[in-house]
Amino acid sequence: MIIFLHRYQCSECDKKFATKVYLKTHFEFFHLKLSKFKCQVCDTLLMTKWKLKNHMQLYHGLERRRDHACADCGKKFFTSATLKSHQLTHSSARLFMCAVCGDTFKQRPSLYTHVRRTHNHQKT
């Protein structure tokens, strides 16, 4: 089990953060309205580069390209993270194990679905 300690509290809204960097980012964006990620079309401020790119795709028609191709089957994906997840389907490794019954799965979503359907969301 991973436990995150939220030691740093925002003086404006009382939200808590695990690091000073997260607190600073939050404060600058939400309270000072500062960001280096600004939409050039509508002047909307976004918190991250990824959110700006997503905003451009959703609201301003920026084309989304599938630049990440699987070496095994040629299927293409929008992100490298999605490609890595897909590549597990070609592997014999079953890295995700159910804590209730011990069944193993190639992908985390398969384990999640198994627990939800088979064990009615039981946790150990």
pLDDT at 124: 46
pLDDT at 4: 62
Domains of the chain: 66-124 (3.30.160.60)
- Torsion angles phi and psi, residue 37, rounded to 5: -110, 95
C-alpha distances out from residue 50 to 34, 47, 79, 93, 117, Å: 17, 9, 11, 31, 33
Of 63, 68, 104, the C-alpha closest to 85 is: 68
Of 107, 110, 87, 85, the C-alpha closest to 95 is: 107
Q: How far is CA 100 from the centre of its chain?
A: 26
Calpha distance 6→92 (Å, rounded): 39
What SS3 string covers 48-79? CHHHHHHHHHHHHCCCCCCCEECCCCCCEECC
What's the pTM value of the predicted model, to 2 decimals?
A: 0.48
Tens of pLDDT, residues 66-84: 889 999 999 999 888 889 9
Of 59, 52, 54, 79, the C-alpha closest to 68 is: 79
